[in-house]
Structure 1
Amino acid sequence: MSDGVRRRGFLAAGTVAALGLLVADAPGHTGPGRRSGAYVGWPQTPTTLDAFARARGRRLDVVGEYLDGRDWDHLRNPGYLYDAYAGSAYARDLVLSLPLVPPGESLAEAADGAHERYWSELGAGLAAHGMGEVVVRPGWEANSPVNYPWSAVPDPAAYRAAFARCVRALRREAPALRSDFCVTVAVDGHAVALADVYPGDDVVDVVGVDVYDMRPEPSTPQERWDWYLSAPGGLDEVVAFARSRGKPLGVDEWAVASPSWGGGGDDPQFVERFVGWMDAVGVVHEIYNEVRYEQSDGRLFTGGANPRAAAAYSALVGRS
């Protein structure tokens, strides 16, 4: 399965033992001490993750991963996930993205509890395979109106209820799981108010954010960065919201982006600014998305598309 199908193209086809300590330390948790990791693309394995770690010069503390959301069979019993990670050094370090519904399924039915049994089965499976303490990210990028069938924009109440039911069902089988409520910045970040889609303090442990170096119209690196910070739904707003709920902030996905995707291409300034921002605000984890999509190549160490950004990343993140 390609990354386009697995992640951004979900409409077409269809992750920490130490987190409790990090949550307690969140206000002062900045700089190199944060958990740093990556998602390196489907099919991701400990071997491919180790290769990224070697390339950047630093081990991975946390790993992004995605469940195959084509249907409930793949969601409730992800044998491919257990085969890849059970017993590995990464088994407890996942930030695991969970599609709230497969394509064509009703978010309203999920909100009414029609699928809770599937989430309970997944929770039991994670616990049985040594993954009962990972971070789960149900229905990621809740505020995106375009990317996924679980978008909260058409029906915020249904999204809130479906997220809460998912987390509670998982926790019945794996009480140590932590949950990440994820929103996206840039082209999608203004579609709905964060407070309207927030599922509740009892079912959210981390407020997560996805950030790519892209915006709808051409711009300079400084103009793009100012927009990411101050636009409606931008980074300033996400930070303020997380702090208002007393939740730590996580960066679930970030990467440079190609001009064909509205991005700055090989832009070391974005890497420098973004790492500086993480240092300043304090995040519990950050996950670089080392992936080539159909529209964009954000890879740092594979393919050679972004050598200047790769050098900045290695200096600021990989060897810190």
Structure 2
Amino acid sequence: MSHRGRRLAGTFTGTVVAALLVTGGVLAPPPRVGSGRDTGTEVAVGAYLHYGSPGVERMEEFSRWLGGTELRAGHTYLPGDTWSNIEGAPDSLRSWARWRNARADRLFVLNVPMLEHSEAGVPDARVAELIRSGARGEYDHHFRRLATRLVALGVPDTVVVLGWEMNGFDYTHRCRPAPESWKGYWRRIVAAMRAVEGQRFRFDFAPNRGGDAIAWTSCYPGDDVVDVIGMDTYDQAPGRTFDEQVAQPYGLQQQVDFAKAHGKRISYPEWGLFRNGDNPEYMRRMLAWIAEHKPLYHSITDYCPHGVWQCGQNPRSSGVFRESLSAPRGHGGPFRSGLGDYGLRPWDRR
């Protein structure tokens, strides 16, 4: 489910027209999703708002929109255009580190490409060569530099979503051209990053939902080098309905079952609306799934067409999301329920 260019552009729809979240009927809200500490089975709520420093700044506004609910999962991506960026060159990492360290119970979630030119349409034969080189250790130094930078910035406990959506067709770090070497390369990266003194990283294995280019189970590199079993899942095929998204091969249920069998927590680094437009039923069902299965964290992709806050084209789904995740009145901040303010983004208000 690659959305080309989203990492670098940090898509932002700040000129959206304000929409009142009004539906034609009474909708039963999904179970409320917790936002407590990273202990036991509590769930950290997050949102991808922008890859750089503006994403940090918008976290507070998004939290206000949710009536004060704390966003404990801060989620961003390293650009995969050059090795220097994969090594952690972006200055915005400092802003994310300051955000993480402002509260002890926060999670910093960082998607890390495994190869440069990550969205350049590199052909399979060349991808296989690059992955084999990685499995031989030729790129270890890049990941040691990244790990050293993260430790120096005070975020040694970063959740690293390494080589995400590896079961797909798009990214240069895709698994299908050389799955055995891909697993070996993942293991090399984890070993290189864990060798840096002071690190406490957790590594999140996060395929697309469904079979895609290759069964994601064929890319799993081993329990000793994976801490979390994630999944990127959007409201699109395969799976016309949420029930089909759950039951399909390599779908949501298989993720839960696989993680349980391997003794791992689950996560949803990316999720949101997509091919079916403003779909409040999907939003209710996905939030209910999260509430039931209690991932370590989840992070909605919040720009059009996927999102609920920076995107004004999904007002009914936005209402469901806000109702489910808003802090109860008197517990966590103000909750504006007046129709004149309900659903308005900060830049819509005067």
TM-score (norm 1): 0.82
Q: Which moved more, 1:41-50 or 1:127-136?
A: 41-50
Q: Match for 2:235 among 208, 213, 217?
A: 213
Q: Match for 1:204 among 211, 226, 229?
A: 226
- Contact 1:190–1:232 (CA<8 Å) still a contact in 2? no
Change (3 A) 1:199 1:318: farther
Q: Match for 1:85 among 89, 96, 103?
A: 96
Q: In structure 1, how many angstroms separate the alpha carbons of the residues matched to 2:271 and 2:227?
A: 20
Partner amino acid for 2:50? G
What is the aligned-residue RMSD (CA, Å)? 2.3
Q: Which moved more, 1:274-283 or 1:116-125?
A: 274-283
Give the structure 1 partner of residue 310 of structure 2: 302
Q: Which moved more, 1:155-164 or 1:132-141?
A: 155-164
Q: How does 1:101-250 map to 2 (within 5 A)?
A: 101-103=115-117, 106-144=130-168, 146-173=169-196, 174-186=198-210, 189-215=211-237, 223-250=240-267
- Contact 2:78–2:111 (CA<8 Å) still a contact in 1? yes
Query: What is the Cα deviation at residue 87 of structure 1?
Result: 2.4
Indicate yes or no: 2:48 matched with 1:39: yes
Q: Deviations over 1:117-146 (max 9, x none)?
A: 1101110110000111110011001211x2
Give the structure 2 partner of residue 13 of structure 1: none
Give the structure 2 partner of residue 75 of structure 1: 86
Q: In structure 1, how many angstroms separate the alpha carbons of the residues matched to 2:137 and 2:100?
A: 34
SS at match of 2:144: helix
Q: Which moved more, 1:146-155 or 1:116-125?
A: 146-155
* Count of residues paired in the alignment: 284
Indicate yes or no: 2:113 matched with 1:96: no
- Contact 2:114–2:162 (CA<8 Å) still a contact in 1? yes
- Contact 2:51–2:77 (CA<8 Å) still a contact in 1? no
Q: Which moved more, 1:83-92 or 1:232-241?
A: 83-92
- Structure 2: which 5+ runs fail to align? 10-35, 329-350
Q: In structure 1, how many angstroms separate the alpha carbons of the residues matched to 2:116 and 2:186?
A: 14
- Contact 1:63–1:90 (CA<8 Å) still a contact in 2? no
Indicate yes or no: 2:285 matched with 1:273: yes
Structure 1 or 2: more helix by fraction: 1
Q: Deviations over 1:127-184 (max 9, x none)?
A: 000111110011001211x221111122111221111111111111143111101111
Give the structure 2 partner of residue 15 of structure 1: none
Partner amino acid for 2:248? A
Q: Percent identity?
A: 27
Query: What is the Cα deviation at residue 302 of structure 1?
Result: 2.0
Query: What is the Cα deviation at residue 41 of structure 1?
Result: 2.4
Partner amino acid for 2:213? A
Partner amino acid for 2:58? T
- Contact 2:44–2:72 (CA<8 Å) still a contact in 1? yes
Q: Match for 1:316 among 293, 302, 324?
A: 324
Q: In structure 2, how many angstroms separate the alpha carbons of the residues matched to 1:190 and 1:230?
A: 15
SS at match of 1:184: coil
Moved over 3 A (4+): 6-9, 42-45, 89-92
Larger RCO, structure (CA 8 Å, separation 6 or more): 2
- Structure 1: which 5+ runs fail to align? 10-17, 258-262
Q: In structure 1, how many angstroms separate the alpha carbons of the residues matched to 2:180 and 2:8?
A: 24
Q: Match for 2:66 among 56, 73, 93?
A: 56
SS at match of 1:79: coil
Give the structure 1 partner of residue 332 of structure 2: none
- Contact 1:37–1:62 (CA<8 Å) still a contact in 2? yes
Indicate yes or no: 2:66 matched with 1:66: no
Q: In structure 2, how many angstroms separate the alpha carbons of the residues matched to 1:318 and 1:90?
A: 24
Partner amino acid for 2:144? S
Q: Deviations over 1:190-215 (max 9, x none)?
A: 43233321111111000001110111
Query: What is the Cα deviation at residue 282 of structure 1?
Result: 2.4
- Contact 1:256–1:264 (CA<8 Å) still a contact in 2? yes
Query: What is the Cα deviation at residue 227 of structure 1?
Result: 1.6
- Contact 2:167–2:212 (CA<8 Å) still a contact in 1? yes
Give the structure 2 partner of residue 264 of structure 1: 276
